[in-house]
Amino acid sequence: MAFPTETVYGLGAAINRRGAVRRIFSVKGRPLGNPLIVHISHREQLEQVVSSVPPVAARLMTRFWPGPLTLVLPRAAALLSEISAGLPTVAVRMPAHPLALALIRAVGVPLVAPSANLSGRPSPTTPGHVLADLVGKIEAVIDGGPCRLGIESTVLDLTSGSSPVILRPGGVSREELERELGITVSSVGRFRGAGPPPRVTKPRPCLPRSGLLLIRGVPERRRRLIWSLIRYYRGRGMTVAWLNPAGAKGATSGKIGLAPLLYGRLRRCELRGVRVILAEEISPRGLGAGVMNRLQNLATRVIRV
């Protein structure tokens, strides 16, 4: 059963049903080594999921739940091992969506709920996206319209030692976490760790013939390069799309911006047979960090101008 959350649509299974949990992996084509996030509707359910709630976790729950913050904590001994892919920890959050909360309450136990798409495809932010990937493979999708945030939750590891670590940027920003905790929150991942991308000043024949190019650098030079890339690819008969953040209100300031539109735009590009997507860097503040992380992961090539 697929259902809406404030981030993306999730594919749910009760955490105490081994067959259903296993089916999530097979339906999505998801590797068994990729652990699932447990979704709860009220805090009393935590004892079915985690073995302890340190004070810093309790504080974050009070401030950000229900909401797009997933916490990685020590797992409860009785939790099905498939859920956490054999790890001693488990990821858990409380979604901020009335239909998601009502569903969890109706089932009576927490739900694992990865995104309701085929593994490797853009996450679904509308019921249509869910059906495009999973029609015939799942029983139903609860229609809650488009997701408000459109980007997955922030995953914060609270088990890695003294300070919390962002494993995946998302719906709650690092700035918000730091403000709440009054300490520095670090992050891992390609976005921060990647070395300087190649610098090019004009299109070269060795540019990829399909995929996503992430263009970084000062806005004026980005735009100049993008226009010349558009001419370059069109001149070779290829369909090219510009994932233009200016079309999304607040995108450059990082408020909500491009996030709710990102996955839908990527799917539309696919449907239109777009060969090359040109994506512009946006400010990695607020939700922008999550958007940049997804773009970086998708990029065939990063070009700095």
Judged by the rule CB under 6 A, the positions of this chain that interact with ligand AMP are 34-37, 72, 84, 87, 89-91, 114-115, 152, 155, 167-168
- Residue that has been written with the tokens 């940027």 in this structure: 169
- Residue that has been written with the tokens 């013939």 in this structure: 209
**Would you say 112 or 229 has its CB closer to ligand AMP?**
112
Q: Which partner, ligand AMP, Mg ion, none, binds residue 215 by CB below 5 to 8 Å per kind?
A: none
Q: Decide: is 7 part of the binding site for Mg ion (CB under 5 A).
A: no
Dihedral of alpha carbons 79, 80, 82, 83, sign:
negative
Compute CA distances 8 → 37, 116, 221, 222, 230, whole Å: 13, 8, 33, 30, 31
Compute the least distance from the CB of residue 259 to Mg ion, in Å: 15
Compute the least distance from the CB of residue 220 to ligand AMP, in Å: 35
**Which of 34-42, 84-92, 108-116, 237-245 is the region at the interface with Mg ion (rule: CB under 5 A)?**
108-116
**Which of 53-61, 107-115, 132-140, 236-244 is the region at the interface with Mg ion (rule: CB under 5 A)?**
107-115
Q: Which partner, ligand AMP, Mg ion, none, binds residue 37 by CB below 5 to 8 Å per kind?
A: ligand AMP
Compute the least distance from the CB of residue 197 to ligand AMP, in Å: 23
Q: Name residues whose C-beta falls within 8 Å of residue 291's C-beta, 6 or more positions apart in sequence.
A: 151, 257, 258, 259, 262, 282
Q: Decide: is 115 part of the binding site for Mg ion (CB under 5 A).
A: yes
Is 285 strand, coil or helix? coil
Neighbours of 169 (CB within 10 A): 28
**Which of 79-87, 110-118, 137-145, 276-284 is the region at the interface with Mg ion (rule: CB under 5 A)?**
110-118
Is 10 strand, coil or helix? strand
**Would you say 28 or 216 has its CB closer to ligand AMP?**
28
Compute the least distance from the CB of residue 35 to ligand AMP, in Å: 3
**Would you say 115 or 126 has its CB closer to ligand AMP?**
115
DSSP label of 16: T
Distance CA 212, CA 192 (A): 19
Is 165 strand, coil or helix? strand
Where along the sequence are the contacts to Mg ion (CB under 5 A)?
A: 115
